[in-house]
Structure 1
């Protein structure tokens, strides 16, 4: 599913209308879809009090349609007109014909009726502004939204729905007006908007759902950024033939671990195994091998010479090079450390010819960042998995610059460097050298802890070894990792979540995807 800017959405709307779908039909579809989603979430809706805040444009029209359906399905609905509506507004007329309570702010100067309706409401629906709002919200509109926020602070049971996006949230940048409400749920229309995945706006969205309003998917075919969906992830899973052997599911060689980061090697190899890799070999410092073998019983080992205790020697490059040809993916960097010998090893290994597909994480990225024009020297198929700090070192940008436009920055450098980039963080971004980009639907503070990136790097390498393309392996690894995080969060919460908690959950996430019905 594509992610659009406000201008792209307007162009798609116009083209849909030009092809024969009237605007009023799109509005009817939108309002009904919103009402259906609200009914699903708040079921049963009868005897619940709904207050719908209606603005001046299409977003307000969507709210009026939703009001009509919610009323017809048994809800107690009140409409509050916060701005003048067109005199020939058919949706307003249909609301009035049903004797739905409809208050015009022009006749409620002191907001007395508004305050009464808000005090008795179970649910407020924000239908004030959609993608077209760019100016600051002022006057009575600001007062209304501020009042909703104040009442919600005192009444935790008040549910706030936003149509398309919370009013005052910039659909492109994620910037927010001071009175932008904190929605519990946002029902975005047709396609998700880029600003919903950018901060600080993303914190105002609540639970996001996407309503189909009848716009053909082909109209968004040329959009470069897409949201990773459950359906896409299911379809991308590697096949598991009944007559398979371990060679069928690929071989990963992980060069990982050091005396201070033994766990990184364990987590990375386990991540690869838990997504179905046939064979994982850990190349690590020889003194660490017995320690890890007690924990990682399914992994084979390639003990390497040491420069110091638990630190791989640069001389290990020869041994690694001699063993590469039997592997489909090489994972390099997790927990290696930044000693001089390790940096020499990484530099020597990366610029060899005939390397398998590469996944570079952590200390491999830190070493790259110290090599001038590294992207011109690093050939072959490569996935980079930086967090914002590592991306800053690789690109020379500040973390703030990267975080201000994560998708744009990832796309720019994926094309410039001709490497697949996984820019980790809330709503992880995966960018391909061809300019295409995928965005994870997950933002989970529980994943902001040591070791979760090692699990992710291992999962990506494992999927790559099973035959997925670089872009698909990176995106599917991110999705499975993020979904596993959601499962753990639902069980334990997002405080105290460990990277190792993800490992036993990953196979269950894959199983659940495979069991999805084909018509979803």
Structure 2
């Protein structure tokens, strides 16, 4: 299992890596040959064998097309019935094409198929279409003949459930950097990225066209990436399992920290429960829940393992500003603080949050600021300056819009870049939640979660994430490591629960219940989720 995170690159970084590979002695042709061989192996494995397999490979004008031709040669050599469809002009003498034909592949040129009749005929008995048209060469909208081909292939895919599209590197029509996608982009069932996954595959709408992602080795020397500033990584289970806090035999509850969760209000009792239960299930030695007195009896009956700190409440059933005097003098007892889950946004609660951080700044406890903690603090000018330096912010796009003053639509155009910019501006760790959650810390690499799971689109899942992260901090991880590991553990627990229950009706409690199993599996035991 890979113990480091996979680098995510943009098109210019990939070009630089390939150029450096050539300098180091690995030629472009060698890279193509390795890519084509591994593409063919992957397809053979995916299809359960190659003998008699009918495959249509769409070949473009550049190196991505050449990768497809090498793939065609190997598949034909192994007994597949391969048709190569040339979608654009290739070199006058194309040795990759000649070699594929020598092994039994057949070819059709776009020049001889103006009405696409030969394309239609090739698709009749075909079950797999390989898209090796553009790869990272996509930078403009699809047009003309290429657009017609893409539309026809997409229609073919929808006719039968067994019809599948495999994209080489990334689907044609998807921008490798921004994730922008032409409406006619090929909708892949599988994308096999070459060398490194591309940034655009983790941004929408491009991610919608990607299908299941696999990264294939193409023989790039390890030294080729050295000196190239690739500050973006895809979280991997091996890295997370290797980073999670250890559990020594000679330990006790004090070994694993004491997490304080300031949360809940009359309308959002469950938020406090979920955050606390997640912290308990993630391994925090002790968990104290500080909540309004009016909901304390309910929480105490649900959370038998937690310590409880009833706080003065206000007329709206939220935490009163006077509660600050109960919390702050005792903060040195705790190793991490969660604040915000289900607090509400009444005037009294807003005053409590502002008094907690702004009237007497200088708190030095690791803080996970979530939900209504964010919604209340964002009304303060330059709010980030009042927070502890070791703060983890966990906004979803709507909360990020309130924190930054930037519309959601602008944030989502480049959520990776936006999260990085805000982490640097606020000098705090920022987690932008959602499909392919982004984790960015000042002066450190930015991480991307591999999970995009609609089953987790339900109330309370964010409260669970806050509790997980705080528990990992309490057990000794830095804020940035806890944020990355917490996002992965949370995502994999959701994936495992969805595998059992489906993508509709999954609850935050379902995710919490899976946390011990997921942490166990990540430390090297039986289960490893297939996440993409």
TM-score, normalising length: structure 2: 0.94
Q: 1:389 and 2:398 equivalent?
A: yes
Query: Corresponding residue for 1:33?
Result: 38
SS at match of 1:331: strand
Deviation of the 1:41 alpha carbon: 2.2
Query: Corresponding residue for 1:287?
Result: 294
Give runs of ≥4 in structure 1 deviating > 6 Å.
Answer: none
SS at match of 1:120: coil
CA gap of 1:377–1:53, structure 2 versus 1, over 3 A, is: same
Q: Give the length in aligned residue pairs.
A: 517
Query: Corresponding residue for 2:328?
Result: 321
Counterpart contact for 2:197–2:215, Cα < 8 Å: yes
After the TM superposition, which residues 145-224 of structure 1 pair with which residues of structure 2 at under 5 Å, given as runs?
Answer: 145-220=150-225, 222-224=229-231
For residues 100-139 of structure 1, the C-alpha deviation after alignment (integer angstroms, 9 at most, x for no partner) is: 1222222233322221111110100001111122233333
Query: Corresponding residue for 1:345?
Result: 352
Query: Corresponding residue for 1:53?
Result: 58
After the TM superposition, which residues 249-328 of structure 1 pair with which residues of structure 2 at under 5 Å, given as runs?
Answer: 249-308=256-315, 310-328=317-335
Query: Corresponding residue for 2:47?
Result: 42
For residues 181-239 of structure 1, the C-alpha deviation after alignment (integer angstroms, 9 at most, x for no partner) is: 11100001111111111111110001111111122345435311111112221121111
Deviation of the 1:435 alpha carbon: 5.0
Q: 1:120 and 2:125 equivalent?
A: yes
Q: 1:419 and 2:428 equivalent?
A: yes
SS at match of 1:288: helix
CA gap of 1:117–1:480, structure 2 versus 1, over 3 A, is: same
CA gap of 1:209–1:382, structure 2 versus 1, over 3 A, is: same
SS at match of 1:291: helix
Query: Corresponding residue for 1:65?
Result: 70
Query: Corresponding residue for 1:499?
Result: 508
Q: 1:376 and 2:376 equivalent?
A: no
Deviation of the 1:298 alpha carbon: 1.1
Query: Corresponding residue for 1:460?
Result: 469
Q: 1:89 and 2:94 equivalent?
A: yes
Inter-partner Cα distance in structure 1 for 2:319 and 2:183: 53
SS at match of 1:109: coil
Inter-partner Cα distance in structure 1 for 2:388 and 2:332: 17
Counterpart contact for 1:411–1:435, Cα < 8 Å: no
TM-score, normalising length: structure 1: 0.96
For residues 478-518 of structure 1, the C-alpha deviation after alignment (integer angstroms, 9 at most, x for no partner) is: 1111111111221222111111110111111111111259x
CA gap of 1:274–1:46, structure 2 versus 1, over 3 A, is: farther
Inter-partner Cα distance in structure 1 for 2:189 and 2:470: 37
Segments of structure 2 that go 5 or more residues without pairing to the other structure are: 1-5, 527-532
Task: Give the stretch that moved more between structures: 34-43 or 432-441.
Answer: 34-43
Query: Corresponding residue for 1:487?
Result: 496
Deviation of the 1:157 alpha carbon: 1.4
Counterpart contact for 1:49–1:123, Cα < 8 Å: yes
Segments of structure 1 that go 5 or more residues without pairing to the other structure are: none
Counterpart contact for 2:363–2:388, Cα < 8 Å: no
For residues 14-52 of structure 1, the C-alpha deviation after alignment (integer angstroms, 9 at most, x for no partner) is: 111111100000001111122222222221333321111
**Cα RMSD (Å):** 1.6
Inter-partner Cα distance in structure 1 for 2:523 and 2:347: 45
Counterpart contact for 1:359–1:383, Cα < 8 Å: yes
